[in-house]
Every structure is written in C-alpha cells, then in structure tokens.
Amino acid sequence: MSVVHVIGIGQSRTDLTEHHLSLIYDCDLLVGGERQLNMFPDFTGNTLAIKGKLDPILDQISSDMRSNKIVVLASGDPLFYGIGTTLSKRISATDLKIHPNVTSVGAAFAAICQPWHDAKIISLHGHTEPLFSFQSLIDESKVAFLTGPDKDPAFIAHQLIQCELDGFKVCVLEHLGDSDKERITWFTDYKKVAQTDFSHPNIVILLKSNPHPPLVPHETFMGMPDTYFRHSRGLITKSEVRSISLSRLRLSRRDHVLWDIGSGSGSVGIEASLQIPWGSVFAVEKNQERIPTIIHNIKNFNRSNIKVSHLNFPTGHDTLKTPDRVFIGGGGKDLSQIIACCCDRLVEEGIIVVNTVILESMHTAMSVLSERGFTPDVVQVQVSRGSQMPYGTRMNALNPVWIVSGTKPNL
C-alpha cells in the first residue's frame, strides 16, 4: 500500500519545491480541484477532479491507494481548513503524508504587511449557515474570512451593516499569488463592498480603523460591582443578586434569546449579553426616563446584541423575537399578566426567572407559573455588605430578594 501524499500548493505553483514536483509527476493518480489540476497541464497520469460531495472521492482514494501512488493537491496549507483535515480522519497517519505550505490567510496578511497572530480566522466556505454570529465581532480588531461562492464579500458587508458593526476597514484580496489576476482593494464604506463584484477565490480582512481601549476600563465578569453601571435611586439588581439570577437563567447556549423585562439600568441584560454573544437580549422598559440610562450602559460596555424597547409590557410583546430565557425584574400590578404572556411566548424547556422584593409578588409568580404547568422554585437572597467603622466593620443589610424560577414543560 502506497502512502498518500497531500501537497499544499501555497498560493501558486512557484511555492512548490522540486521534491513536491517530483512527487506530483511520479504519481499514478493526481487528485485536486479543477484550478489545482489546471496548474499541471503536462501531467500524463490519471486525474480526479474534486467536485460536489467528497465521499465518492475519499472512497476512490481509499480503494486506489492499495496499488497506486496518489497525490492530493490542496490550496494553501492542507491542514488549514483544507482537505488534509478530512483525509486525516479517513486514512491512518502511517499511510498519509502532509506537505504544508503557505496558508491563504498568511499570504493575505503578508500582502498587506500586517501581522496575524492576533487575528480571528473564520471560514465561511462550504457552510450553508454561519457557525458564528457577526455580533460577536464587536470585540475584535482584526478578522480574516475564508469566503465561498454564497458567503462572499457582499454577504459579509450586509452582515456588518445589519449588525451595525462600524469602524472596520475592509480589504478584499482576489486571486492571491496569480500575477495576472491578483487584486487588493480597500473599503471604508460597507455599502460599496456590497455593490462590487469580486472574482473567486478571495479573502476578506477586517481591520479596526482606529483601535481604542474599551470604554469600560476593566475586565467584565458575572456580578460586576453596581458602580460599573449608571443607575438612579438604587434601581439596579445588586451584584450579588444579579449573579444568582444569571445562574438561574442557565444561559447554556451562546445563541440564546433573552427577554429582560423591567430592565431598569440594564445590568442583568448586559451581563447576560456577555454570555450569549451570538444571541440577542431584548431590554424592555416602560419608564421613558430610564431608557437613556440603559442605552448609556449598553454603549459603555460596547454591546451590540442588546435591543432596547420602550414598551408597557405585555403590550408590544409580538414585536419581540421568541425567547429561550426570560428575566423579569419589574412588573408591579401587571405582574400576573406579564408572567402569563412570557409563559405563552417562551419556547419549550425555556426558563423564566422573576426577582421581587414584595412578598405578594413572590406569591403571584409562584401561582401563575404553577397554573401554566411549571414547577416553580424559589430562593430568598439576603445580602449584607461590610462597612468600615472607626474600630471595625459593620454589616449593612440590603433588602431581601425572592428569586422565583421555572422551566416550561414539554407539551
């Protein structure tokens, strides 16, 4: 049985060594995409073009390697989002030899004289759906996209516009390594990217125009001090209670949709948004005077996945995306209707968490959840904070808070 050689071409045939060329011209079967095979018009052996599904190609390689010398050509580096990764899962390491070369991303950054050790690399090629949320790019300053026919520069530009991710310069690099076709174009206007036709293959690089320190000059974490948030008259879910409430929400998926009803200062929604960078938080507040405070805090933490809605909930609930999680930090006399509406809109196995300092509201939350088939749970949180005295520390008690939670049953 012959060893299958997987050779990375780099950016062009000129990146190949004499040893690589010797293996290619000496093999019985040369496998690769049409573009790679066309680089060797003088090859006299059998060729197999990679088109459509890979399984038939892999089956033929596994079969023919018993009696034939096979070389598989790969763009860039075979193990960098390449066919080498797939082959390594089908063929044992003793029967497979990988020949690395210059990656397409490495060549792209070299072409614009930028280091890329700190870049976020995202492959859109071959995926019917993005494996990430563009909203998660808000904290990035350098991003490279491996594009595909459908996920092209125009697609990326539309996503940047939709997510309001301002501040990036866009570089589109076409046909890297081809002296006749190579083109590098810079844009500062996303709309122009969306309106321009580009040839394939291409790579898109995003660079922050003016990288600057985050507006919040500290690391973010669960239960951040109340002083990190602007709020008035103590209208904020205290940090200790916030931590417990977030743990009760069980934000286990990065793409959860959360409703923050009675958002107040927005502290719960903001901390939740850090846990669900691919998801969305809908901060709902009925008091108009609190909306600027929420918006200020969102901007201060540079969050793009929070949408603020001025609604007298449950009025307007149909304008909100179906939630996986609901946090209710306010409600007053309408609490029963608010909880009932949230129960109806919540996905099956979704979670509702209700915080209240009022005993009657705790009873209301327990009752409505029970009526809707939930099995509610309640904890009382009593927090005391140390305060320095001349000769010691005194504990100052905060208002006790009831945290009611429940999971929507499967129907």
Q: Hey, where are the domains in the chain?
A: 4-102, 105-208, 226-407
For residue 337, the one-letter residue type is Q
Inter-residue contact 305 to 132 (CB < 8 Å):
no
Q: Report pLDDT for 215.
A: 58
What pLDDT is recorded for position 218?
Answer: 62
CATH of 105-208, one of 3.30.750.80, 3.40.50.10860, 3.40.1080.10, 3.30.950.10: 3.30.950.10
According to the model, what pLDDT value does residue 216 have? 63
Phi, psi of 211 (to 5 degrees): -55, 135
Residue 122's pLDDT is what?
92
8: closest CA among 69, 71, 75, 58? Answer: 75
Q: What is the architecture, at CATH level 2, of domain 4-102?
A: 3-Layer(aba) Sandwich (3.40)
Phi/psi for 10 (5° steps) reads 75, -135
Q: Is-cis flag, bond preceding 201, omega within 30?
A: yes
pTM score over 0.85: no
Rounded-to-integer distance, Cα 297 and Cα 265, Å: 7
By CB atoms closer than 10 A (0-12, 13-18, 19+), residue 15 is middle
Q: What is the pLDDT along the chain (411 residues), one digit of tens a residue?
A: 789 999 999 888 889 999 999 999 999 999 999 989 999 999 999 999 998 888 899 999 999 998 999 999 998 889 988 899 999 999 999 999 999 999 999 999 999 999 999 999 998 876 555 556 787 787 788 999 999 888 999 999 999 998 878 889 999 999 998 888 999 999 999 999 999 999 999 999 999 876 555 556 567 888 999 999 999 877 899 999 999 999 999 999 999 999 999 999 999 999 999 999 889 999 999 999 899 899 989 988 888 899 999 999 999 999 999 999 999 997 688 999 999 999 999 999 999 999 999 999 999 999 999 999 999 999 999 999 999 999 999 999 999 999 999 999 987
- The pLDDT of residue 403: 97
Strand 280-285 versus strand 306-310 pairing type: parallel
| Helix (H) / strand (E) containing 378 | strand 377-381
Give the amino acid at 48. Answer: L
- Residue 196: the pLDDT is 95
Q: Which residues contact 29 (CB under 8 A, 6 or more apart)?
A: 45, 46, 47, 48, 61, 64, 68, 69, 70, 71
Distance in angstroms (rounded) separating the CA atoms of residues 207 and 143 = 7
Q: Look at residues 261, 286, 260, 292 and name the one whose alpha carbon lies nearest to residue 273.
A: 260
Tokens 């669960």 appear where? 222
With b meaning 16 or more CB within 10 Å and e meaning fewer, what string describes 196-231?
eebeebbbbbbbeeeeeeeeeeeebeebbebebbbb
Q: What is the pLDDT of residue 82?
A: 87
- Residue keyed to tokens 């209301």: 364
Q: What is the pLDDT of residue 220?
A: 84
Q: What is residue 212's predicted lDDT score, i.e. its pLDDT?
A: 55
| Burial class for 389, CB neighbours closer than 10 Å (0-12, 13-18, 19+) | exposed
Q: How far apart are CA 145 and CA 15, in angstroms?
A: 22
Q: Which CATH number fits domain 226-407: 3.40.50.150, 3.40.50.1220, 3.40.50.970, 1.10.3720.10?
A: 3.40.50.150
